[in-house]
Each structure stands twice: as C-alpha cells, then as structure tokens.
C-alpha cells in the first residue's frame, strides 16, 4: 500500500490529532469512510493514500491532513497515526519523575 506523504501535507498536527479521537469513522467501502462526531459529517477517501481526500474546508482550503482523515487512518490501523497518538499521550502525561 502506498504511504501518505504526511510531511508534504504539513505533518500531523497535535490539535487535529486530539480532535480526531472524538470522531467516529465508519467504513463504507474500500478506503472510504463517513466520519461523524464533528459539526457535520464528512466523507474521506483513502484510496489514493498519497493524496487522501476529505470534503471538509480544513482539507480543501488548507490542504492539510485534517482530523477526519486522521480518524479514518486510525480506523485503518495506520501505524504512523497510532505512533503519533502515543506521542500525544506521552506529551499530555508530562515528564516522568
């Protein structure tokens, strides 16, 4: 499977990552998701993993990896997004004593 160029898309931003965890991604086809739980439902298409698509403004206008795409990737079990979630948890937990 092709890998998404996260860095080319601005990387995974912590705020979006945090918000994606509250969303529900339902698989409606091969690499296609309906993501709910935000202001309104959105459609995500991961079929071209290099250029994932979402119909929200964040993705269309800012060309960023939006929270909906992250939610869909998490549902797919994408190892990089899971790693990013791990990093977020460590960050929130603060330095270990």
User: 68 or 75, CB closer to Zn ion?
Assistant: 68
Helix axes 67-76, 79-93, angle to 10 degrees: 110
Burial of 53 (0-12, 13-18, 19+ CB in 10 A): middle
φ/ψ of residue 68, rounded to 5:
-70, -40
Contacting Zn ion within 12-31 (CB under 5 A): none
Binds Zn ion by CB under 5 A, chosen from 64, 68, 72, 81: 68
User: 58 or 88, CB closer to Zn ion?
Assistant: 58
The answer to whether residues 38 and 83 touch, using CB atoms and an 8 Å cutoff, is no
Binds Zn ion by CB under 5 A, chosen from 12, 20, 46, 56: 56
**Smallest gap, in angstroms, from Cβ of residue 43 to Zn ion?**
9
Tell me the residue length of the chain: 97
Binds Zn ion by CB under 5 A, chosen from 16, 59, 64, 75: 59
The contact set with Zn ion (CB under 5 A) reads: 42, 54, 56, 59, 66, 68
């Amino acid at each position: 499977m092709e890998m998404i160029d996260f860095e080319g898309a601005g990387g995974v931003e912590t705020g979006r990552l945090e918000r994606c965890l509250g969303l529900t991604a339902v698989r409606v086809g091969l690499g296609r998701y309906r993501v709910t739980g935000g202001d309104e439902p959105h459609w995500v298409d991961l079929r071209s993993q290099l250029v994932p698509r979402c119909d929200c403004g964040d993705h269309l206008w800012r060309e960023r990896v939006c929270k909906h795409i992250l939610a869909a990737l998490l549902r797919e079990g994408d190892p990089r997004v899971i790693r990013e979630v791990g990093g977020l948890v460590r960050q929130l937990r603060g330095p270990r004593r």
